[in-house]
Chains A and B, each alone.
Chain A
Amino acid sequence: QLQLQESGPGLVKPSETLSLTCTVSGGSISSSSYFWGWIRQPPGKGLEWIGSVYYRGITYYNPSLKSRVTMSVDTPKNQFSLKLSSVTAADTAFYYCARHRDYGGNLGDFDYWGQGTLVTVSS
């Protein structure tokens, strides 16, 4: 059974960089059929796709966040990561990592999710 687990600081100061890691177990991050994504959800609000990364380093980012987002993969550790720079209080949210299915070049749904981690931006 595939499992994903987010890790990282729960509190980040304004203007600093948010850094999260997702560890994948029960399957390989190097599968050709999947990207690996990050989705966030401000408390009590809806879902926002942040970006997705392929194990070979191909990345797709939400245009509204693109200037601040960097995603990468560490295949030996079976992990992928998110960095979001210059954070403000508006970046306070639950951050989820998820497996993003690739339908032959067109990414689709998210079929496995981590439990999520709350990141608060505050001084």
Chain B
Amino acid sequence: EIVMTQSPATLSVSPGERATLSCRASQTVSSNLAWYQQKPGQAPRLLIYGASTRATGIPARFSGSGSGTEFTLTISSLQSEDFAVYYCQQYNNWPPMYTFGQGTKLQIK
């Protein structure tokens, strides 16, 4: 099983500043990585797939990068609605096994 490790567990950033979240895979997943945002009481929402492609309707301030085992989600200028928990997910396995990171909580500084 591919283990996904996110860091930091909690990130405190001021509105308007840049946030950088990391995700590391225990073995290569190529570019088969997605990022999700989850707000309290809501389902996760797909932000990024293929490591760097924004999903439909996602603002341009969200960007993803990386390949292999190291990935980054960057939010260029934090808005109040961006404070949430973010998860990465890999989809490189055969036989199928889709694993998520443990999440990074992005909170207001």
Listed in ascending order, the chain A residues whose CB lies under 8 Å from chain B are 46-49, 52, 60, 62-63, 96, 98, 101, 106-111, 113-116
CA distance A49 to B42 in the complex (A): 17
Using a CB-CB cutoff of 8 Å, which residues 1-27 of chain B contact chain A?
1
For the residues of B in contact with A, the DSSP-based class is loop
For the residues of A in contact with B, the DSSP-based class is strand
Contact among B46, B92, B94, B101 for A46, CB-based, below 8 A: B101
Q: Beyond A52-B96, A96-B44: 13 further Cβ-contacts under 8 Å? A: A47-B44, A47-B87, A47-B103, A63-B97, A96-B43, A106-B92, A106-B94, A110-B89, A111-B46, A111-B55, A114-B43, A115-B43, A116-B43
Closest-CB distance, A116 to chain B (whole angstroms):
5
Contact among B1, B42, B49, B103 for A109, CB-based, below 8 A: B49
CA distance A101 to B89 in the complex (A): 13
* A46-B102, A107-B91 as given contacts; A113 in contact with B97, CB under 8 Å: no
